[in-house]
Amino acid sequence: MSSLLKNLVVISSAVWVVGCATVDFDYPKTESFALSDTADTHLGRGVGDEVAAHPGQSGFFPVYDGIESLALRILMIERAERSIDAQYFLIHDDLVGHAFLSALVQAADRGVRVRFLLDDIQAGGYEEGLAALETHENLEIRIFNPFGHRSVKAFNAFSLNRVSRRMHNKSLTVDNQMTLIGGRNIANEYFDANPGEKFGDLDVLAIGPIVPEVSAMFDSYWNHQAAMPMPALVEVPEDAAERLDTYIDRVSTRLEELEASKYAAAVESSILEFVQTDASAFIFADYQLVFDPPDKAVPDKVGSIATITTQLSGSIMSAEKELFVVTPYFVLAKDNIAGFQELRDRNIEITVLTNSLASNNHAVSHAGYIPSRKPMLEMGTNMYELRASPAMPSDQTKGIQEAKVTLHAKVFAVDRERIFIGSFNWNQRSVNLDTELGVIIHSPEIATEFVELVIAGLPEQSYEVFLNEKNKVRWKGIDDGQEVILTKEPQSGFGRRFNAGFLRIVPNSQL
């Protein structure tokens, strides 16, 4: 056997061995459930009267601003007395991630039961730190649908049908009395803390009967076979207590940077404002909590479950006048385009705001969007793409400079009477692979406010996409007060445009 052939055999054998690594989904773990006796907590007493005055409805408070959204999370955690349930797609090893984890640890130190469920998409880079935190007697961390290989995800190719399915839900529930759901992950860019990048997003704070529904959803994920305890993935060291202290010290050191910044002062100011907000600030309305079951992450069970798309489709197709969509990724299959055509055939006005190539944080998603653009325009859809650097002033009071802006909010409004806020992207991953969570709120007040806010910003903050007389895609925008017509993807050089074109080889089913 030649040396080249021997090397190929060795390499192939190694890939086979690492590719076949499995996860012990039978690893023992203890079931736990949301606490129900929390009406006498600070939050329970604070919202009790308003909730009782609106039987069957829940109260909602949209949170647009990134700094306010971080402030609200910290405030909720600080006010927790019995329990905290947090569920997120990702958390970064940055200032916001440290602030969030520090608040959780402090709550656990007070005796609050903390359950933190995290998808495994990026947990591999700091799992030892998470394992150290998990040794706290009041803090438990579970990783959803873990990769068999922790360090090199490419080695998981043999289990691609499973590991390509991710938990994309985002929720924070405190004392089973108040919950926050929406599109934000836990990282600097989602909360205006990254000087060079800003993600526009939307959360909604909620009280009332929706909260125990979110808690029940969380329990179904927390106790699912795909939710793995940290010791099942990372060996707990003998010096775990020392490592916990070391990790907390490291987080505290990094937080000193945050505390010395203008951003920290803005967060503190927002916290004080929220402290003064009482339950009367909530808008009470009928609603539908919509989410995928955790079995969507199990390939063998997918065909037998009902997914979030059934409820979302029902709401969308019930439109009588208008559908207004804001989504970071807009990757449609043929049946999705047919659904939009059905709405247009009924003279439903459709407006879509999504990322431009320049503002999109995933060029491959834009590649998947390109084929949908012309069919949507041909049927008469109003299409807008966000500028990567829209005409928005910097905010020196918060230490925020001009930054690349990326749209990350996942919202749609129907007839300005109902509005969906959540984690669902209009792409094939959200439809077929990722688990998602959101709420449809039957509130003309919230829906109209959102639509009018977006419409007011369209001229300066986006490009209108249209077809010219030769049926070619063009972009219309305002630069320095003058209307301009562009023939190429705005704010994008040849390299980025070429890359997006090349990436169209990626199957839409993975986008």
List residues with catalytic annotation.
168, 170, 175, 408, 410, 415
Write the Ramachandran bin of 107: left for phi over 0, alpha for psi from -120 to 50, otherwise beta: alpha
As beta bridge partners, residue 407 has 200
Residue 48 and residue 42 in contact, taking contact as beta carbons nearer than 8 Å:
no
As beta bridge partners, residue 190 has none
The conformation of residue 433, written as its DSSP 8-state character, comes to I
The conformation of residue 384, written as its DSSP 8-state character, comes to E
The angle that helices 95-109 and 66-79 make with each other, rounded to 10 degrees, is: 10
Residue 167 and residue 119 in contact, taking contact as beta carbons nearer than 8 Å:
yes
Q: Report the alpha-carbon distance of residue 246 to residue 100 in Å, rounded.
A: 17
Element spanning 256, H or E = helix 240-259
At position 55, the amino acid (one-letter code) is: P
As beta bridge partners, residue 341 has none
At position 418, the amino acid (one-letter code) is: R
Residue 321 structure tokens = 């006048």
At position 432, the amino acid (one-letter code) is: N
Contacts of 251 (CB under 8 A, 6+ apart): 98, 101, 102, 105
Widest pairwise Cα distance in the chain? 82
Contacts of 150 (CB under 8 A, 6+ apart): 124, 127, 233, 234
Element spanning 314, H or E = helix 308-317
Residue 316 structure tokens = 């969308």
Minimal CA–CA distance to 136: which of 245, 250, 249?
Answer: 245
Minimal CA–CA distance to 92: which of 189, 11, 171?
Answer: 189
Residue 173 and residue 214 in contact, taking contact as beta carbons nearer than 8 Å:
yes
Q: Report the alpha-carbon distance of residue 388 to residue 462 in Å, rounded.
A: 9
Q: Report the alpha-carbon distance of residue 135 to residue 241 in Å, rounded.
A: 7
